A and B are shown apart, each in its own frame.
Chain A
């Protein structure tokens, strides 16, 4: 079974620009979660999608948004980039149904650098 894939793997953007990151979950997984990882704050939950609906949201500003498509693939968008948005953005997929404790399978991440 193929793992979670994320594109692009590396990205350099300028302050004020916007960026879209993509995530393809493991086949059959319907839940996709997004996390931001920085040295100072660690791994922080952004949002989770299941069957094209956002079920959970973390404490991030509205500049961070996401969506999920009917094939479970997901994208996240960050508008008006700030230097502090530089981070590793991780996507994780899980079965997402019946039992919330299902383990999450993480992708390799997208390393975003904002200059």
Chain B
């Protein structure tokens, strides 16, 4: 069966450290993967997209990797701050070749807490 799993339900780290979140998928062949941030009581906010032919993408303190052999994406936040505390969701297009407009399958999310 198809699954998208974010390995850690919760991750606690100290301010200044690098947070690494994992997203694994089974029986999908995603053309791309997206990462979102969700704060309590709010809708998810788009952070980064990485395509299947890209190994790594960066945006300020954020870095995403995509390994289609391992069927895994890693999301890193460097020099983490308490303001980075939120739930982080990975999402992919469940259709082969990434042709499914407007339809994303989401992981369960990882709750990140950055302690001062």
Q: Counting chain A CB atoms within 10 Å of each CB, which of B44, B89, B105 scores highest?
A: B44
Size band of the interface chain B makes with A:
20 to 34
B102 near A104: Cβ-Cβ < 8 Å: yes
**Digit string of A72-98 for contact with B (CB within 8 Å is 1, else 0)?**
000000000000000000101010100
Which residues of the partner chain B approach A100 to less than 8 Å between Cβ atoms? Answer: 93, 98-102
Q: What residue of chain A has the Cβ atom nearest to residue B93's Cβ?
A: A100
In the complex, what distance in Å separates the CA atom of A101 from the CA atom of B34? 9
Task: Given A43-B89, A101-B31, A101-B32, decide whether A106 and B44 contact each other with a Cβ distance below 8 A.
Answer: yes
A108 near B42: Cβ-Cβ < 8 Å: yes
Interface size on A, residues (CB 8 A): 28
Which residues of the partner chain B approach A42 to less than 8 Å between Cβ atoms? Answer: 106-109
**Digit string of A95-115 for contact with B (CB within 8 Å is 1, else 0)?**
010001101111111000000
Q: Is B45 an interface residue (CB 8 A)?
A: yes
In the complex, what distance in Å separates the CA atom of A55 from the CA atom of B95? 13
Q: What residue of chain A has the Cβ atom nearest to residue B35's Cβ?
A: A103
Task: Given A42-B107, A101-B93, decide whether A109 and B43 contact each other with a Cβ distance below 8 A.
Answer: yes
A45 near B43: Cβ-Cβ < 8 Å: no
A107 near B103: Cβ-Cβ < 8 Å: no
A55 near B49: Cβ-Cβ < 8 Å: no
Q: What residue of chain B has the Cβ atom nearest to residue A48's Cβ?
A: B102
Least Cβ–Cβ distance between B97 and chain A, in angstroms: 9
Which residues of the partner chain B approach A49 to less than 8 Å between Cβ atoms? Answer: 102
In the complex, what distance in Å separates the CA atom of A103 from the CA atom of B57? 15
B102 near A55: Cβ-Cβ < 8 Å: yes
Least Cβ–Cβ distance between A18 and chain B, in angstroms: 24
Least Cβ–Cβ distance between A96 and chain B, in angstroms: 6
Which residues of the partner chain A approach B45 to less than 8 Å between Cβ atoms? Answer: 106
Chain B residues with a Cβ under 8 A of chain A: 31-32, 34, 36, 41-46, 49, 51, 89, 91, 93, 98-109
What would be 14 A-B contacts, judged by CB atoms less than 8 Å apart?
A31-B102, A55-B101, A56-B100, A58-B103, A90-B44, A96-B102, A100-B93, A100-B100, A100-B102, A104-B46, A106-B36, A106-B44, A107-B43, A109-B41
